[in-house]
Amino acid sequence: MSKFPTPTATPAAIVDALKAVAGNPPKVRASFAKGRCVRGTYTPSDRAAEITRSQSFTKPSRVLARFSVGGGNPGVTDTNNFVLRGFSFKLGDDAHRSDILTQSAPVHFARTLDQMLAFLKARIPGADGKPDIEKIKAFSAANPETLNQANYIAARRLPGSFAGTTYWGVHAFPATNAKGETRFIKFKVTPAGGDVTLSEDEAATKSAAFLHEDLAQKIAAGDIRFNVMALLDAPGDPIMDVTLRWPDEDNREEVRLGTIVVTRLEANEACDGSVFNPVNLADGIGHPPDEIFAARRAAYTISLARRR
Protein backbone atom coordinates (compact mmCIF):
# COMPACT_ATOMS: atom_id res chain seq x y z
CA MET A 1 0.00 0.00 0.00
CA SER A 2 1.15 3.52 -0.74
CA LYS A 3 2.25 5.70 2.18
CA PHE A 4 0.94 8.71 0.28
CA PRO A 5 -2.52 10.12 0.94
CA THR A 6 -4.73 9.43 -2.03
CA PRO A 7 -7.38 12.11 -2.37
CA THR A 8 -10.63 10.79 -3.78
CA ALA A 9 -10.12 11.25 -7.48
CA THR A 10 -12.79 12.41 -9.90
CA PRO A 11 -12.53 12.78 -13.68
CA ALA A 12 -12.63 16.58 -13.21
CA ALA A 13 -9.75 16.43 -10.73
CA ILE A 14 -7.73 14.34 -13.19
CA VAL A 15 -8.29 16.90 -15.96
CA ASP A 16 -7.30 19.72 -13.58
CA ALA A 17 -4.10 17.89 -12.62
CA LEU A 18 -3.16 17.06 -16.21
CA LYS A 19 -3.54 20.74 -17.09
CA ALA A 20 -1.57 21.87 -14.02
CA VAL A 21 1.35 19.55 -14.84
CA ALA A 22 1.53 21.19 -18.29
CA GLY A 23 1.34 24.74 -16.89
CA ASN A 24 -2.35 25.25 -17.68
CA PRO A 25 -2.16 26.20 -21.38
CA PRO A 26 -5.58 27.50 -22.50
CA LYS A 27 -7.94 25.89 -25.01
CA VAL A 28 -5.97 22.71 -25.69
CA ARG A 29 -6.43 19.05 -24.82
CA ALA A 30 -5.49 18.00 -21.30
CA SER A 31 -3.25 15.31 -22.82
CA PHE A 32 -1.76 14.77 -26.28
CA ALA A 33 -2.25 18.49 -26.86
CA LYS A 34 0.02 18.68 -29.91
CA GLY A 35 -1.21 16.76 -32.92
CA ARG A 36 -2.32 16.57 -36.55
CA CYS A 37 -5.66 15.55 -37.98
CA VAL A 38 -5.76 13.20 -40.99
CA ARG A 39 -8.22 11.26 -43.14
CA GLY A 40 -7.99 7.75 -44.49
CA THR A 41 -9.72 4.46 -45.17
CA TYR A 42 -10.21 1.20 -43.29
CA THR A 43 -10.44 -2.17 -45.04
CA PRO A 44 -11.33 -5.23 -42.92
CA SER A 45 -9.46 -8.52 -43.19
CA ASP A 46 -11.24 -11.79 -43.94
CA ARG A 47 -10.67 -12.80 -40.30
CA ALA A 48 -12.15 -9.76 -38.54
CA ALA A 49 -15.54 -11.44 -38.03
CA GLU A 50 -13.85 -14.32 -36.17
CA ILE A 51 -13.01 -11.83 -33.42
CA THR A 52 -15.87 -9.32 -33.44
CA ARG A 53 -19.27 -8.78 -35.01
CA SER A 54 -18.71 -5.01 -34.70
CA GLN A 55 -19.52 -3.49 -38.08
CA SER A 56 -16.95 -0.79 -37.43
CA PHE A 57 -14.31 -3.54 -37.83
CA THR A 58 -15.98 -5.92 -40.29
CA LYS A 59 -17.00 -3.37 -42.96
CA PRO A 60 -14.92 -0.87 -44.97
CA SER A 61 -15.21 2.75 -43.87
CA ARG A 62 -13.71 6.19 -44.01
CA VAL A 63 -11.37 7.05 -41.13
CA LEU A 64 -10.87 10.27 -39.19
CA ALA A 65 -7.64 10.05 -37.19
CA ARG A 66 -5.18 12.12 -35.21
CA PHE A 67 -1.46 11.63 -34.62
CA SER A 68 -0.12 13.35 -31.52
CA VAL A 69 2.74 13.91 -29.09
CA GLY A 70 2.01 13.24 -25.43
CA GLY A 71 1.51 15.65 -22.56
CA GLY A 72 -0.62 18.75 -22.17
CA ASN A 73 1.91 21.20 -23.62
CA PRO A 74 1.10 22.08 -27.26
CA GLY A 75 4.66 23.42 -27.62
CA VAL A 76 6.36 20.10 -26.80
CA THR A 77 9.09 19.24 -29.31
CA ASP A 78 8.84 16.17 -31.52
CA THR A 79 12.32 15.21 -30.30
CA ASN A 80 11.16 14.80 -26.69
CA ASN A 81 11.64 11.14 -25.83
CA PHE A 82 10.02 11.33 -22.39
CA VAL A 83 6.46 11.54 -23.71
CA LEU A 84 4.27 9.18 -25.70
CA ARG A 85 3.18 9.35 -29.32
CA GLY A 86 -0.51 8.82 -29.91
CA PHE A 87 -2.74 7.58 -32.74
CA SER A 88 -6.51 7.90 -32.29
CA PHE A 89 -9.00 6.94 -34.98
CA LYS A 90 -12.72 6.69 -35.70
CA LEU A 91 -13.94 3.69 -37.71
CA GLY A 92 -17.36 2.85 -39.12
CA ASP A 93 -20.43 4.86 -40.05
CA ASP A 94 -22.74 6.96 -37.88
CA ALA A 95 -24.72 3.89 -36.79
CA HIS A 96 -21.68 1.73 -36.01
CA ARG A 97 -18.89 4.01 -34.81
CA SER A 98 -15.88 2.97 -32.76
CA ASP A 99 -13.26 5.37 -31.41
CA ILE A 100 -9.94 3.64 -30.69
CA LEU A 101 -7.17 5.40 -28.75
CA THR A 102 -3.67 3.97 -28.97
CA GLN A 103 -0.24 5.10 -27.80
CA SER A 104 3.42 4.21 -28.20
CA ALA A 105 3.61 2.20 -24.94
CA PRO A 106 1.56 -0.90 -24.05
CA VAL A 107 0.78 0.20 -20.48
CA HIS A 108 -0.73 3.15 -18.62
CA PHE A 109 1.09 4.99 -15.83
CA ALA A 110 -1.47 4.28 -13.08
CA ARG A 111 -3.63 1.37 -12.00
CA THR A 112 -6.44 3.28 -10.28
CA LEU A 113 -7.91 6.75 -10.52
CA ASP A 114 -6.63 7.68 -7.06
CA GLN A 115 -3.13 6.57 -8.01
CA MET A 116 -3.34 8.52 -11.27
CA LEU A 117 -4.28 11.70 -9.43
CA ALA A 118 -1.50 11.25 -6.86
CA PHE A 119 1.00 10.57 -9.69
CA LEU A 120 0.03 13.82 -11.39
CA LYS A 121 -0.04 15.90 -8.20
CA ALA A 122 3.52 14.80 -7.44
CA ARG A 123 4.57 16.30 -10.78
CA ILE A 124 2.83 19.69 -10.67
CA PRO A 125 5.50 22.42 -10.96
CA GLY A 126 6.23 24.61 -7.95
CA ALA A 127 6.71 28.38 -7.86
CA ASP A 128 10.01 27.99 -9.73
CA GLY A 129 8.23 26.30 -12.63
CA LYS A 130 9.83 22.93 -11.90
CA PRO A 131 8.44 19.80 -10.23
CA ASP A 132 9.89 18.60 -6.92
CA ILE A 133 12.21 15.75 -7.94
CA GLU A 134 12.38 14.35 -4.40
CA LYS A 135 8.59 14.19 -4.22
CA ILE A 136 8.48 12.31 -7.53
CA LYS A 137 11.19 9.87 -6.37
CA ALA A 138 9.37 9.18 -3.11
CA PHE A 139 6.06 8.60 -4.90
CA SER A 140 7.70 6.30 -7.45
CA ALA A 141 9.40 4.28 -4.71
CA ALA A 142 6.06 3.76 -2.99
CA ASN A 143 4.23 3.02 -6.26
CA PRO A 144 6.74 1.15 -8.47
CA GLU A 145 4.13 0.06 -11.03
CA THR A 146 3.75 3.71 -12.03
CA LEU A 147 7.24 3.51 -13.57
CA ASN A 148 6.34 0.70 -16.00
CA GLN A 149 5.35 3.08 -18.78
CA ALA A 150 8.36 5.39 -18.33
CA ASN A 151 10.72 2.39 -18.24
CA TYR A 152 9.24 1.08 -21.49
CA ILE A 153 9.78 4.45 -23.19
CA ALA A 154 13.29 4.85 -21.78
CA ALA A 155 14.36 1.47 -23.15
CA ARG A 156 13.52 2.51 -26.71
CA ARG A 157 14.96 4.94 -29.23
CA LEU A 158 13.16 8.10 -30.31
CA PRO A 159 10.27 7.45 -32.74
CA GLY A 160 11.40 8.68 -36.15
CA SER A 161 7.99 8.88 -37.82
CA PHE A 162 4.33 8.86 -36.83
CA ALA A 163 3.95 6.46 -39.76
CA GLY A 164 6.71 4.19 -38.42
CA THR A 165 5.57 3.70 -34.81
CA THR A 166 3.75 0.78 -33.20
CA TYR A 167 0.77 1.90 -31.13
CA TRP A 168 -0.99 0.00 -28.35
CA GLY A 169 -4.36 0.05 -26.68
CA VAL A 170 -3.62 -0.41 -22.98
CA HIS A 171 -7.07 -1.78 -22.06
CA ALA A 172 -8.51 -5.30 -22.40
CA PHE A 173 -11.66 -5.09 -24.55
CA PRO A 174 -14.33 -7.82 -24.51
CA ALA A 175 -14.91 -8.71 -28.17
CA THR A 176 -17.96 -10.71 -29.26
CA ASN A 177 -18.05 -12.43 -32.65
CA ALA A 178 -20.97 -13.41 -34.89
CA LYS A 179 -21.34 -16.73 -33.02
CA GLY A 180 -21.84 -14.88 -29.75
CA GLU A 181 -18.44 -15.95 -28.40
CA THR A 182 -16.70 -13.34 -26.23
CA ARG A 183 -13.03 -13.08 -25.33
CA PHE A 184 -10.72 -10.25 -24.32
CA ILE A 185 -8.46 -8.59 -26.87
CA LYS A 186 -5.93 -5.77 -26.86
CA PHE A 187 -5.50 -3.51 -29.86
CA LYS A 188 -2.09 -3.17 -31.44
CA VAL A 189 -1.55 -0.97 -34.51
CA THR A 190 1.60 -1.80 -36.47
CA PRO A 191 3.16 0.18 -39.34
CA ALA A 192 3.27 -1.88 -42.54
CA GLY A 193 6.83 -0.72 -43.19
CA GLY A 194 8.07 -1.51 -39.69
CA ASP A 195 9.18 0.78 -36.88
CA VAL A 196 11.37 3.81 -37.66
CA THR A 197 13.58 5.08 -34.82
CA LEU A 198 16.40 7.59 -34.45
CA SER A 199 19.69 7.53 -32.57
CA GLU A 200 20.53 10.42 -30.26
CA ASP A 201 22.86 11.84 -32.91
CA GLU A 202 20.17 11.60 -35.59
CA ALA A 203 17.59 13.16 -33.27
CA ALA A 204 19.90 16.11 -32.61
CA THR A 205 19.62 17.13 -36.26
CA LYS A 206 15.80 17.14 -36.30
CA SER A 207 13.47 20.12 -36.00
CA ALA A 208 10.95 20.59 -33.19
CA ALA A 209 8.17 19.63 -35.62
CA PHE A 210 9.96 16.93 -37.61
CA LEU A 211 7.28 14.27 -36.99
CA HIS A 212 4.64 16.59 -38.44
CA GLU A 213 6.84 17.48 -41.43
CA ASP A 214 7.56 13.79 -42.07
CA LEU A 215 3.83 13.01 -41.85
CA ALA A 216 3.01 15.49 -44.63
CA GLN A 217 5.79 14.10 -46.83
CA LYS A 218 4.73 10.49 -46.36
CA ILE A 219 1.07 11.28 -47.07
CA ALA A 220 2.09 13.05 -50.27
CA ALA A 221 4.03 9.93 -51.25
CA GLY A 222 1.05 7.66 -50.45
CA ASP A 223 3.14 5.82 -47.92
CA ILE A 224 1.19 5.40 -44.66
CA ARG A 225 -0.42 2.04 -43.96
CA PHE A 226 -1.13 0.35 -40.63
CA ASN A 227 -2.31 -3.12 -39.65
CA VAL A 228 -4.95 -3.11 -36.89
CA MET A 229 -4.24 -6.22 -34.82
CA ALA A 230 -6.15 -7.95 -32.02
CA LEU A 231 -3.96 -9.62 -29.40
CA LEU A 232 -5.86 -12.62 -28.03
CA ASP A 233 -6.24 -13.29 -24.32
CA ALA A 234 -5.12 -16.32 -22.34
CA PRO A 235 -6.20 -17.60 -18.91
CA GLY A 236 -4.82 -15.50 -16.07
CA ASP A 237 -4.14 -12.34 -18.07
CA PRO A 238 -4.29 -9.19 -15.87
CA ILE A 239 -7.30 -7.59 -17.57
CA MET A 240 -7.99 -5.18 -14.68
CA ASP A 241 -4.50 -3.69 -14.30
CA VAL A 242 -3.46 -1.33 -17.12
CA THR A 243 0.06 -0.89 -15.69
CA LEU A 244 0.87 -4.53 -16.56
CA ARG A 245 1.48 -6.18 -19.91
CA TRP A 246 0.00 -9.58 -20.60
CA PRO A 247 2.61 -12.34 -20.18
CA ASP A 248 4.70 -12.83 -23.31
CA GLU A 249 2.67 -10.14 -25.04
CA ASP A 250 5.18 -9.59 -27.85
CA ASN A 251 4.78 -13.23 -28.92
CA ARG A 252 1.05 -13.45 -28.27
CA GLU A 253 -1.36 -14.94 -30.81
CA GLU A 254 -2.82 -12.10 -32.83
CA VAL A 255 -5.34 -11.62 -35.64
CA ARG A 256 -5.27 -8.82 -38.20
CA LEU A 257 -8.64 -7.08 -38.07
CA GLY A 258 -7.97 -4.77 -40.99
CA THR A 259 -5.82 -2.11 -42.58
CA ILE A 260 -5.84 1.68 -42.21
CA VAL A 261 -4.41 3.75 -45.04
CA VAL A 262 -3.87 7.45 -44.29
CA THR A 263 -4.67 9.37 -47.48
CA ARG A 264 -4.61 13.09 -46.67
CA LEU A 265 -4.07 15.78 -44.10
CA GLU A 266 -7.23 17.28 -42.63
CA ALA A 267 -7.84 20.64 -41.00
CA ASN A 268 -7.22 20.21 -37.28
CA GLU A 269 -10.66 21.66 -36.57
CA ALA A 270 -12.16 18.40 -37.86
CA CYS A 271 -10.54 16.58 -34.94
CA ASP A 272 -10.70 19.42 -32.40
CA GLY A 273 -14.45 20.05 -32.64
CA SER A 274 -15.22 16.80 -30.82
CA VAL A 275 -13.26 14.11 -29.01
CA PHE A 276 -12.01 10.66 -29.79
CA ASN A 277 -14.01 9.19 -26.93
CA PRO A 278 -12.94 5.64 -26.04
CA VAL A 279 -16.41 4.74 -24.78
CA ASN A 280 -17.79 5.11 -28.32
CA LEU A 281 -17.71 1.45 -29.36
CA ALA A 282 -20.02 -0.26 -31.84
CA ASP A 283 -21.81 -3.46 -30.77
CA GLY A 284 -19.30 -6.33 -30.74
CA ILE A 285 -16.62 -4.45 -28.82
CA GLY A 286 -17.47 -3.92 -25.16
CA HIS A 287 -16.15 -1.55 -22.51
CA PRO A 288 -13.02 -2.76 -20.70
CA PRO A 289 -13.64 -3.56 -17.01
CA ASP A 290 -10.76 -1.57 -15.49
CA GLU A 291 -11.18 1.54 -13.35
CA ILE A 292 -9.19 3.89 -15.60
CA PHE A 293 -11.40 3.21 -18.61
CA ALA A 294 -14.55 3.77 -16.57
CA ALA A 295 -13.44 7.33 -15.77
CA ARG A 296 -12.58 8.29 -19.32
CA ARG A 297 -16.10 9.08 -20.60
CA ALA A 298 -16.52 11.99 -18.17
CA ALA A 299 -12.89 13.12 -18.40
CA TYR A 300 -12.97 13.52 -22.18
CA THR A 301 -16.27 15.41 -22.05
CA ILE A 302 -14.92 17.76 -19.36
CA SER A 303 -11.70 18.38 -21.28
CA LEU A 304 -13.63 19.21 -24.47
CA ALA A 305 -15.93 21.64 -22.65
CA ARG A 306 -13.00 23.44 -21.05
CA ARG A 307 -11.04 23.92 -24.24
CA ARG A 308 -14.09 25.44 -25.91
Angle, CA of 189, 63 and 215, to the nearest 5°: 65
Alpha helices (runs of H) in 159-233, residue ranges in sequence order: 200-204, 210-220
Tell me if 32 sits within 8 A of 69, measured CB to CB: yes
HSE (CB half, 13 Å, CA atoms) of 295?
A: 21
What would you report as the CA-atom Rg of the chain, rounded to the nearest whole angstrom?
19
Q: What is the mean pLDDT of each run of 10 residues along the chain (308 residues)?
A: 62 93 91 96 98 98 98 95 97 96 98 95 94 96 97 97 98 97 98 96 96 96 95 97 96 96 96 88 97 87 79
Domains of the chain: residue spans and CATH: 11-307 (2.40.180.10)
Task: Enter the pTM of the model.
Answer: 0.94
Q: What is the pLDDT of residues 229-287, one digit of tens each?
A: 999 999 999 999 999 999 999 999 999 999 999 999 999 999 988 789 999 999 999 99
Name, in order, each residue with C-beta under 8 angstroms of 271's C-beta and a sequence gap of 6 or more.
Answer: 35, 37, 64, 65, 66
